[in-house]
Amino acid sequence: MHSFKLLPYLEDEEMGQSEFYEKVLQLYKECLEECGILDGDQVSSNYNLLMTDKFLLVVPRKSEMILGRFSVNALFFLGSFICKNKNDLEYLNQFYFEDIYQDAVFSCS
């Protein structure tokens, strides 16, 4: 399961920079809680964080590596893989992204 939050616009809100950062921190903690990986102030599982000026996305992951070669990082969730050589690329081309994704993250149920 993952959690998505829209971030407030600093320019549009009548809040100072300090309040803005407090709100972003609050939304981040809400994402961790919704994913079931926040235990008090401690995170109990590995996850990836994708953040832009518009949104925050937290995705818990099963493992740090997939297929024994590739890191599950933020680029992975954008559909990108870092291949160190042509052999890695040829190996990766044998698989469908959906299958790789299911192997890397917990499914929603």
Q: How confident is the model at residue 58 (pLDDT cuts 50, 70, 90)?
A: very high
pLDDT tens, residue by residue, 29-45: 999 999 999 988 889 88
State residue 109's pLDDT score.
Answer: 47
My answer on whether 52 and 84 are in the same domain is: no
CB-based contact 61:72 (threshold 8 Å): yes
My answer on whether 83 and 109 are in the same domain is: yes
How many structural domains does the chain have? 2
My answer on whether 7 and 52 are in the same domain is: yes
My answer on whether 52 and 67 are in the same domain is: no
In the listed set 19, 40, 60, which residue is the last one of a domain according to the structure?
Answer: 60
Structural domain containing residue 105: 62-109
Backbone angles phi, psi at 101, to 5 degrees: -60, -45
My answer on whether 9 and 54 are in the same domain is: yes
CB-based contact 74:48 (threshold 8 Å): yes
Cβ neighbors of 22 (< 8 A, separation 6 or more) are none
- The DSSP string of 36-59 is T-EETTEE-S-EEEEE-SSEEEEE
Q: Point out which residues pair with 66 in neighbouring strands.
A: 70
| 29-33, 49-53, 71-75: least confidently modelled range | 71-75
State residue 75's pLDDT score.
Answer: 81
My answer on whether 34 and 68 are in the same domain is: no
